Amino acid sequence: MPKPAAVVEVCDLLGIELRTRKPRSALDIDRLMMVWTVALAAGFVEVDRGRATAGAALGTWTGGTADAVLAVWTQCVLGCFGLAGESDEPDPQVLGGLAVLHEADSAVSLDDLGEHISDVLEGGTTGCSCPSCASSMMTPQDMSGLPDELDGMLGIDEVKLVEALGEFGIASLRDGEAELTPLGRWFTDVLFRQGAPAADADAITLVSAVAGLPDGVALLMARPWLSARNPVTAARELLAAGESGSGKQRLTALTLARACGPDAAPAWRERAAQGGSGAYARVWLAEQEDTEPAEADMAWITVDSVDILLDGLPPDLPPRLVAALLRDQVGDALSEILPVLNDSDHPATSRLVALLTGRPVVTPRIPLPHPATAMPPGARYQIKVTLRGVTKPPVWRRLEVPADLDLGSLHEVVQAAMGWDDCHLHVFSQSGADYGIPDPDLGHADERAVRLFQLLTDVGDRLDYTYDFGDWWEHDITLEKVLPDDNGGTGAICTAGKGTCPPEDCGGVWGYRELKATLADPGAESHESLLDWLGLASPDDFDPHAFSAEDVNRLLGPSTGRRLRSVR
């Protein structure tokens, strides 16, 4: 990346207009950053230890054969649009747009382009209206009224998309209509036809290759494979592949099997005779026969579909937000839906019901743990309590506590050490067992009946602690050392730590991240209201890095000292 002193010269060479002749950084110039990104993707520039040098691809581009130049261009396009390289999944909107333009015989109006891309992303090209496709599958597109941090992620800007493709000579935009250029048609042919799984590949290979792609794109790339088989054989192989894969692969296999049409009914009947995901087949058959599908099958499909959707959400998305999205979709029908869901034998039913009702997932009761050996009298543990998912800075505390401390007292120690207000529910979890305030509805074993050394026996052992079932603050409690009782202390001591405790009720990991960003931006719309909510006169009054072991120990003394001594 050019240094500030060279930015003006580089922009002049590239014909990039500058608002000022003294830019602070190249990062402030969007057009220049786009050029830099393209140069990296093409291999024109290589960066090593902070130094940029000409890449090997630059010589190929300027003096190579036509085929070699085309190969460099192709790799650049794939990298820039997330179709190859380090991206976990390709950009669905780019794929959808390319697929629509590839299938079009002529230019497409921007209005039609946006509608067709939506169809591709939502699987509308399958031509199937059965309940398992049309109503029971909750997709991200179904979630209307998303909060601001998610809203807009699903929108399609057809003009920007075509203009971006046009930068690489893939598409053109004239008089409100978009179409592929000859180069673009060659590229989409390589992408969708030559890049499709081989017609003689097995179904698992096919499904694995196209899983995660928009349904319309998956169908396009599966076309050679489907054309090489009769409908019954294709559907039978696909349904079998769906049983052995992940949830995402199962839905992809079902989408492709539906594309086999009514002639594939024998394969669906075979699958309908089985339990579990056989529900999909029974619903498909009911649609073909114009009969009502069984409620139990619809419940199973609903749970399965939502479970797959939840697994695809960002891991740090607050459970409270996830639950709110689900409850918003269900609305007033919650009381009618819950009995149906509770009758489902899907393994994820308890998870979904917990999110809809706002209760933690109920886990089976198990016997309390019994350690193989008793701890020496007076033994103490050095543990590290880390707030999971919080970074820049991380938040953790290193504590010394009695090894025979009961979990109820450990809860009080963690609350004081971290800086929480103990105004929400909590639970300790390990190996599928939950410990908290005894509650038959929640399925929590009595935390007061379990000692720390019963759960943490070897250095490196870990115990999970979750606080606030709305914001869902997860903590890792790790055993670092077993200490001798050198000074006869019976209380908890904080010896080190980092980071201040997030404010209560700020929205969990996701919300705390937004809170810090808003406080740091005086121009943010909610900056002043957030200061009022926090009771701060200035954003400088909140320091996420603040930590004092002395302050923590003052809190630990009066709040937990007497209690810790009393449990010995």
The domain locations on the chain are 4-80, 380-500+543-566
> Between helices 215-227 and 110-122, what is the axis angle to 10°?
70
pLDDT confidence of residue 19: 74
Region 454-466 average pLDDT = 92
239 with 255: CB under 8 angstroms? no
Q: Is the pLDDT of residue 144 over 50?
A: no
What global pTM score does this model have? 0.54
> Sign (positive/negative) of CA torsion 290, 292, 296, 302?
positive
Region 420-424 average pLDDT = 92
| Among the ranges given (292-296, 357-361, 364-368, 412-416), the one the predictor scored with the smallest mean pLDDT | 364-368
Q: Is the pLDDT of residue 217 over 70?
A: yes
Q: Residue 136: which pLDDT band, with cuts at 50, 70 and 90?
A: very low
| Among the ranges given (315-319, 475-479, 554-558), the one the predictor scored with the smallest mean pLDDT | 315-319
435 with 540: CB under 8 angstroms? no
Region 202-226 average pLDDT = 90
Strand partners, 171: 180
Identity of the residue numbered 327: R
Q: Is the pLDDT of residue 548 over 80?
A: yes
Average pLDDT, the chain: 81
Q: Residue 564: which pLDDT band, with cuts at 50, 70 and 90?
A: very low
Q: Is the pLDDT of residue 124 over 90?
A: no
**What is the C-alpha to C-alpha distance for residues 73 and 527, in angstroms, rounded to an integer?**
45
Q: Residue 317: which pLDDT band, with cuts at 50, 70 and 90?
A: low
How confident is the model over 489-526, as pLDDT tens digits?
668 999 999 999 999 999 888 889 989 989 988 888 88
Per cent of the chain over pLDDT 70 is: 82
394 with 386: CB under 8 angstroms? yes
Beta strands in 24-168 (DSSP E): 45-48, 51-54, 108-109
- Phi, psi at 469, each rounded to 5°: -75, 0
**What Cα–Cα distance (Å) separates residue 314 from each residue in 84, 231, 249?**
21, 37, 19
Q: Is the pLDDT of residue 390 over 70?
A: yes
Q: Which stretches within 399-481 are classed as H helix?
A: 407-418, 452-455
Higher pLDDT: 136 or 208? It is: 208
> Between helices 349-357 and 295-311, what is the axis angle to 10°?
80
Just give the CATH number of 380-500+543-566. Answer: 3.10.290.30
Q: What is the C-alpha R_g of the chain? A: 29
**What is the C-alpha to C-alpha distance for residues 94 and 514, in angstroms, rounded to an integer?**
28
How confident is the model over 292-305, as pLDDT tens digits?
998 888 888 888 88
- Burial class from Cβ neighbours inside 10 Å (0-12, 13-18, 19+) for residue 388 reads middle
Provide the residue count of the chain.
568
Residue 410 tokens read as 């450990």
Region 248-269 average pLDDT = 93
Region 551-561 average pLDDT = 75
pLDDT confidence of residue 268: 96
Region 458-483 average pLDDT = 92
For residue 118, the SS3 value is: helix
Q: Are strands 433-436 and 445-446 parallel, antiparallel or unpaired?
A: parallel
Instruction: Give yes or no for a cis peptide into 393 (omega within 30° of 0).
Output: yes
pLDDT confidence of residue 365: 45
